[in-house]
A and B are shown apart, each in its own frame.
Chain A
């Protein structure tokens, strides 16, 4: 975060506008939070359902971004974790009769544990080879689920119930939305803390230079597998929440296209950016909904419309927007910052030289 130095000169109005735009990140976040809490009350049940999806996809995007954006390890098989999370908590509640508040963390932990195991080959593989290994993982998991009929129900799938906490059942989409929102806030805070401390620094360090990271005492094996585990945990929790939202899960629901969708979230939103992860997930899901509602004929004619859309967005972002949506925001902030500095200088005010190249903190 850059430190803003208030200027003594400048017209009061422009000064106020700019201060609001720049310095009051808290105000913006507060408004956004309020919007997220109030808005669903005025929406139809279907729209609330879509908003639940936005929250769940945001969790996946954060988890995947920790792995890819921060630690620099690729995965094109995250649908596997999404499926593991959904099936773990469904089986825990249906077959083992465990309560939701145990089933949900269990889904995260099992998925994270499998992520840890998947991280082991990542110690020897990188780039294309790791991509192929994770691709295999994403394709294998639904097949294993399909063939474990006794526990998973095979083709028939499972019907995970809406959760009950302290005697209250989250049966309406609105109540389920608030539950999901609370969990997202928790996961968001955890991600921010983790990335700002030892683990996050080690991940970025090994992404930037494995050699130098080792010389700093960073155990590459530990931190790479840890990144897979944490990423698996986030995606597993999201998978579980998704299962209890749609209350009907099938192995066929976990496709390669879904893995690509997750990948597109973070590329469009911005690699190594937590706000970017959320922006990407929200943006793409909203665009997809607009396409299928605004042009009802389109989706029936092009069955693979979403896949085409992800491909298109991936190419456009990689070619023209390497920083994604978060990069645009960052650039806009720099422009405003420069404009403000220029104006202050033109008006003869003193500007304390702070660097415009300050890092995005999260």
Chain B
């Protein structure tokens, strides 16, 4: 008897980037299996290969022994495989009922054109589809909302509708892509029970991509761990949690890029008591966030963020995916309006200003995913960064100054942004942010998707920038150990809250940091 899902040696490339590199895994009928890994490690890519949205460069995917790679994506569901999407993709103009009817498209027993007449077998089939939809909706607590358009549902119910839509097709295997994202702890607990019910009551096997480690460790029987497209570990939750390779993948390699003695100013400030923490509020910091909350629609992203960034320091925000790190930066740079709380730059409130006004006050952000302009040259990309400035003459001066920090970019100043490697693009994004002569630089995941060599180089540059130009830096990083090795202070975020803060030395040895990444078994 072949396994329900077998993946062998799966390889997927996007241009020069290898997103999946020889990944093998198998899921037996009746299991709940987790697929985890840091951001950009290839989990969703793996799902998209299984659903046949991507054509892998090599390898095999089999469901119950049948080869899937020859199948078009719309045939996959006929083999008993249903999925949900990372950001909830519903048919938004439809009601819950209609979504659940479309979910049964592959089970609808008549040809599309038979619907031109009210033939008896069409009517009977439609009645059966509606009954099935009503039954599944009742089981998931959606029966009161069957005739509600899905855009009018709160986020949690939309996620539930998506699950129901996958479930109505009577799948053997369900792929769930981050089902807990955006859910609060009690909703996540309910989700954990629901996933177990899927298996126990409906006989559905579950393969789950998830960043909420509490959920993964709580419901999965086996876990596969990916990093940079490679499978680095597999085993029970306990085995995976203890695996040094997994800890390193999540927290980064425990190597400091710069020696302790190279950060004298940070050390003295820490020693003089102007550090961070609730008790040091007397000293006015460069940036201060107080009880900041934000929402994306009805999803609360930040629940209570209070933090200080002292002038001339490097402060890092660390925490697992979805903890609220990037949202905090977006709130500071004005891209997301806080729904509660205040943000002050040197005592002046900035949380009601427009993003461009915030930039002209000296705050500049290098966004996650870099977002450089592919069809402009390196030099043109950089000049865009000085857009808010009026002093044209010194822009060229700054260009040269930026190039001294990034010699690679100087060599490539005429090259198009899109032709740079990932690491060079990241450098360009940081360099562009510097062009507005910021006093506070916000860096969002500068190590994302980069090879370790580049990560080290970029961190070295960040450190040098801070030391030589006195630029204050707020750094969001998944690679916690790397970030703490150059930062003066760190804040650990979880579920939109600051759960831990302190000098980087203190945080580096703290077990709680590790727990906030890898979770604790049984706590959802």
Inter-chain residue pair count (beta carbon < 8 A)? 119
A265 to chain B, nearest CB (A): 21
In the assembled complex, which residues on chain A have CB atoms less than 8 Å from the CB atom of B94? 201, 204-205, 208, 359
Residue on B with the closest CB to A190? B116
B263, CB-defined interface residue at 8 Å: no
Give B residues with C-beta under 8 Å from A.
51, 53, 72-78, 82-83, 85, 89-95, 98, 101-103, 105-106, 108, 110-118, 122, 126, 145, 147-149, 152, 165, 169
Residue A301 at the chain B interface, CB threshold 8 Å? no
Flag if A217 contacts B106 (CB, 8 Å). Answer: yes
Partner of B73, one of A197, A215, A358: A215
Residue in chain A with minimal CB distance to B95 = A359
Q: Is the CB of A212 within 8 A of B85?
A: yes
**Chain B residue contacts of A217, Cβ below 8 A:** 74-78, 105-106, 169
Known: A205-B102, A218-B74. A358 touches B112 (CB 8 A): no
User: Is A209 in the interface zone, CB < 8 Å from B?
Assistant: yes
A2 lies within 8 A of B101 (CB): no
Q: Name the B residues within 8 Å of A212 (CB-CB).
A: 85, 89-91
What is the distance, in angstroms, from B137's C-beta to the closest C-beta of chain A? 14
Q: How far is the CA of A198 from the CA of B148 in the complex (A)?
A: 20
Distance from B497 Cβ to chain A, minimum over Cβ atoms (Å): 33
What are 18 A-B contacts defined by CB distance under 8 Å? Answer: A190-B117, A193-B118, A194-B113, A194-B116, A197-B110, A198-B110, A198-B114, A204-B91, A205-B94, A208-B91, A208-B94, A212-B85, A214-B73, A215-B51, A216-B74, A272-B93, A355-B145, A357-B152
User: Are B105 and A202 neighbours in the complex by a CB distance under 8 Å?
Assistant: yes
Docked CA distance A248–B250 (Å): 77
**Residue numbers in B under 8 Å from A216 (CB-CB):** 74, 77, 102-103, 105-106, 165, 169
CA distance A265 to B72 in the complex (A): 37
List of A residues within 8 angstroms of B83 by Cβ: 215
Q: How far is the CA of A213 from the CA of B108 in the complex (A)?
A: 14
In the docked arrangement, what's the CA distance between A360 and B111, Å? 25
Contacts of A358 in B (CB 8 A): 95, 147-148
Q: Quick check: is A123 within 8 A (CB to CB) of the other chain? A: no
The CA-CA distance from A208 to B99 in the complex, in Å, is 11
Give chain B residues whose Cβ lies under 8 Å from the Cβ of A198: 105, 108, 110-112, 114-115
A359: B residues at CB distance < 8 A: 94-95, 98, 147, 149
A contact set with B: CB distance below 8 Å: 2, 190, 193-194, 196-202, 204-205, 207-209, 211-220, 222-223, 226, 272, 354-355, 357-359
The smallest C-beta distance from B226 to any residue of chain A, in angstroms, reads 22
In whole angstroms, what is the CA distance A199 to B147 when docked? Answer: 20
Q: Knowing A208-B93, A212-B90, A217-B77, say if A202 contacts B147 (CB, 8 Å).
A: no
Q: A214-B53, A217-B77, A359-B98 are in contact. Are A200 and B148 (CB under 8 A)?
A: no
Contacts of A211 in B (CB 8 A): 53, 85, 89
Residue numbers in B under 8 Å from A199 (CB-CB) = 112-113, 115
Q: Which of B82, B108, B114, B115 has the most CB of A within 10 A?
A: B115
Inter-chain CA distance A193–B117, complex, in Å, is 6
- Cβ–Cβ < 8 Å partners of A193 in chain B: 115-118
User: Interface majority SS on A: helix, strand, loop or mixed?
Assistant: helix
**Contact between B74 and A208 (Cβ–Cβ < 8 Å)?**
no
In the bound complex, CA of A198 to CA of B102 (Å): 8
Among residues of B, the one whose C-beta sits closest to the C-beta of A219 is B74
Q: Are A202 and B82 in contact (CB under 8 A)?
A: no
Closest A-chain residue to B91, C-beta based? A208
Closest 8 CB pairs of A and B: A197-B115, A217-B106, A199-B112, A208-B91, A217-B77, A212-B89, A214-B73, A205-B102
CB-nearest residue of chain A to B112: A199
Most A CB within 10 A of own CB, among B73, B102, B110, B113: B102
Tell me which of A2, A197, A208 contacts B147 (CB under 8 A). Answer: A2
Q: A226 to B148, Cβ gap below 8 A?
A: no
A200 to B53, CA, bound (A): 24
Contacting pair A201 B85 (CB below 8 A): no
| Complex Cα–Cα for A102 and B104 (A) | 37
* Complexed CA–CA distance, A262 and B117 (Å): 26
The distance from the CB of B318 to the nearest CB of chain A, in whole angstroms, is 33
**Docked CA distance A193–B90 (Å):** 23
Please give me the residue from chain B that is nearest to A203 by CB atom: B112
A202 touches B113 (CB 8 A): no
A226: which B residues are within 8 A, CB to CB? 112-113
Across the interface, B148 reaches (CB within 8 A) one of A208, A220, A272, A355, namely A355
Known A201-B101, A204-B91, A208-B92: A196·B77 in contact at CB below 8 Å: no
Contacts A202-B105, A214-B74, A216-B103: A197 and B91 contacting too (C-beta < 8 A)? Answer: no
Task: Report chain B residues within 8 Å CB of A202.
Answer: 102, 105, 112
